[in-house]
């Protein structure tokens, strides 16, 4: 890795989220305990250097399958949730044993997307993680698969790790995968595929490289990791994809010897506060298509979205729901909290703000559809 990039984005990181996928943690016989012990040993070495680490760990369902092999191929949600209930305790037991060898304690945190929608709960989770870090306890975070319904799940733990980066206010996201980086083609099919060492911008070419193949043991494949990289870098945080089964992968990464893929942050300044909650905790309820003038106002000038710039409204949503703004080609431009319902917005689309009250029959109304303080730009 380029020395300057290493020093700027990896060596300088003090608080790190390490996401470990199911394909790394498990094999056909279940949890790879010795591998987990080794990864935890390398993590403990980082902590002894003064760094702070939060782990996002998959593996509960896969661990449960080893105890219930006759149910290993269950595909219904209740069966997967039952396997997660069996496996989560086994997974935490291994982490507890692994970190205790280095005199560190661990704490289990299970999250669901709907549990973080209320702002108060999001802040509570944030404060809990901060307290554990202050106590030098290692938070081990997973989705609460046992209670999460399909429509309220995180897409996968790659998406969860992005949310955790913002909850923890981390400096770096490290995704340990069964593939040691992003390749121009799938290296499992094309052994001579070129590895992409540094990604400066996630464009259509990068998205095409990721494809849509799932991971071996979990829900997330390379495409989900690229989506995670797109989200986390948009908030000014770099991300690394490295091979979780590679010897000394964590030690090599922080020693400047890793052959990984580094995604550079898209913004120079880290974005904190309410906006990560809006971007990652809330479900997107609707879509508004906006004209080119509105795109420039939002992206280049940091303005609020006014009804005059709206061309089309899709979906059913209420005042206060999170909606997405797209341009004429369907590219996502921004998202934020709507001051109007879908029904009201259809009535005022394309209108001047002075016409809002007359159009929707109110005595007073906000002139912005989405105020810039409640908006996250995505370009």
How many distinct structural domains can be found in the chain?
2
Q: Which of 246, 274, 302 is the last residue of a domain?
A: 274
Task: Tell me how long the chain is.
Answer: 379
Q: What is the pLDDT along the chain (379 residues), one digit of tens a residue?
A: 788 999 999 999 999 999 999 889 988 777 899 999 999 999 999 999 999 999 999 888 888 888 887 766 656 778 888 888 999 999 999 999 999 999 999 999 999 888 888 899 999 999 999 999 999 999 999 988 777 655 445 557 888 999 999 999 999 999 999 989 999 888 888 888 899 999 998 888 888 887 754 444 444 478 889 989 988 998 899 999 999 999 999 999 999 998 899 999 987 778 878 888 998 888 899 999 999 999 999 999 999 999 999 999 999 999 999 999 999 999 889 999 999 999 999 999 999 999 999 999 888 889 999 999 999 988 7
Q: Which of 274, 306, 331 is the last residue of a domain?
A: 274
Alpha helices in 144-192 (DSSP H): 157-168
Q: Is 302 in the same domain as 220?
A: no
Q: Is 269 in the same domain as 333?
A: no
CA distance 176 to 357: 53
CA distance 152 to 224: 17
Q: What is the CATH number of the domain that holds 148?
A: 3.40.1160.10
Q: Is 59 in the same domain as 114?
A: yes
* pLDDT at residue 171, rounded to an integer: 96
Strands (E), 145-203: 172-177, 182-183, 195-196, 198-199
For residue 45, the tally of other CB atoms under 10 A from its CB is 14
Q: Is 71 in the same domain as 160?
A: yes
Q: Is 242 in the same domain as 291?
A: no
Asked if residues 158 and 179 have their Cβ atoms less than 8 Å apart, the reply is no
Q: Is 351 in the same domain as 253?
A: no
Q: Is 305 in the same domain as 244?
A: no
Q: Is 65 in the same domain as 109?
A: yes
Q: Name the token pair of 100.
A: 């205790």
With b for 16 or more beta-carbon neighbours within 10 A and e for fewer, the 172-191 pattern comes to: bbbbbbbbbbbbeeebeeee
Q: Give the domain range for residue 295.
A: 283-377
Radius of gyration of the chain from Cα atoms? Answer: 22
Helix-, strand-, coil-residue percentages of the chain, each rounded to 5:
40, 20, 40
Q: Name the token pair of 304.
A: 């609020």
Q: Is 288 in the same domain as 261?
A: no
Its sign, for the CA torsion 246, 247, 250, 251, is: negative
Q: Are strands 52-57 and 26-27 parallel, antiparallel or unpaired?
A: unpaired
* pLDDT at residue 219, rounded to an integer: 43
Q: Name the token pair of 252.
A: 């090599």
* pLDDT at residue 187, rounded to an integer: 84
Q: Is 160 in the same domain as 65?
A: yes
Q: Which of 274, 297, 315 is the last residue of a domain?
A: 274
Q: Is 290 in the same domain as 270?
A: no
Q: Is 126 in the same domain as 237?
A: yes
Q: Name the token pair of 5.
A: 């990039």
Q: What is the CATH number of the domain that holds 309?
A: 2.30.130.10
Return phi, psi of residue 18, to 5°. Answer: -110, 115
Nearest CA to 221 among 186, 266, 189, 264? 186
């Amino acid at each position: 890795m380029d020395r300057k990039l290493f020093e700027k984005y990896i060596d300088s990181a003090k608080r790190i989220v390490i996401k470990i996928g199911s394909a790394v943690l498990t094999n056909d016989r279940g949890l790879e305990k010795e591998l987990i012990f080794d990864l935890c040993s390398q993590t403990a070495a980082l902590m002894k250097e003064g760094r702070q680490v939060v782990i996002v760990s998959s593996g509960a369902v896969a661990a449960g399958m080893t105890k219930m092999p006759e149910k290993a191929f269950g595909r219904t949600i209740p069966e997967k949730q039952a396997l997660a209930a069996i496996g989560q305790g086994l997974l935490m037991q291994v982490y507890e044993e692994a970190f205790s060898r280095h005199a560190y304690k661990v704490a289990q945190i299970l999250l669901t997307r709907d549990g973080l929608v209320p702002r108060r709960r999001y802040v509570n989770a944030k404060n809990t993680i901060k307290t554990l870090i202050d106590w030098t306890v290692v938070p081990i975070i997973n989705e609460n698969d046992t209670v999460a319904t399909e429509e309220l799940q995180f897409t996968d733990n790659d998406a969860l790790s992005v949310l955790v980066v913002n909850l923890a206010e981390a400096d770096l996201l490290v995704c340990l995968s069964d593939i040691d980086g992003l390749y121009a083609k799938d290296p499992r099919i094309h052994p001579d595929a070129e590895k992409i060492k540094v990604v400066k911008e996630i464009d259509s070419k990068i998205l095409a490289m990721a494809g849509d193949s799932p991971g071996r043991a979990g829900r997330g494949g390379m495409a989900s990791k690229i989506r995670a990289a797109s989200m986390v870098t948009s908030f000014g945080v770099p991300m690394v994809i490295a091979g979780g089964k590679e010897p000394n992968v964590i030690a090599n990464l922080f020693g400047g010897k890793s052959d990984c893929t580094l995604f550079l942050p898209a913004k120079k300044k880290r974005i904190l506060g309410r906006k990560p909650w809006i971007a990652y905790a809330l479900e997107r309820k609707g879509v508004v298509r906006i004209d080119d003038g509105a795109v420039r106002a939002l992206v280049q000038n940091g303005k609020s979205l006014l009804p005059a710039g709206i061309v089309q409204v899709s979906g059913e949503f209420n005042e206060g729901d999170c909606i997405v703004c797209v341009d004429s080609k369907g590219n996502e431009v921004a998202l934020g909290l709507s001051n109007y319902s879908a029904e009201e917005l259809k009535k005022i689309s394309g209108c001047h703000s002075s016409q809002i009250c007359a159009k929707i029959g109110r005595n007073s109304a906000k002139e912005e559809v989405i105020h810039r303080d409640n908006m996250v730009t995505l370009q």
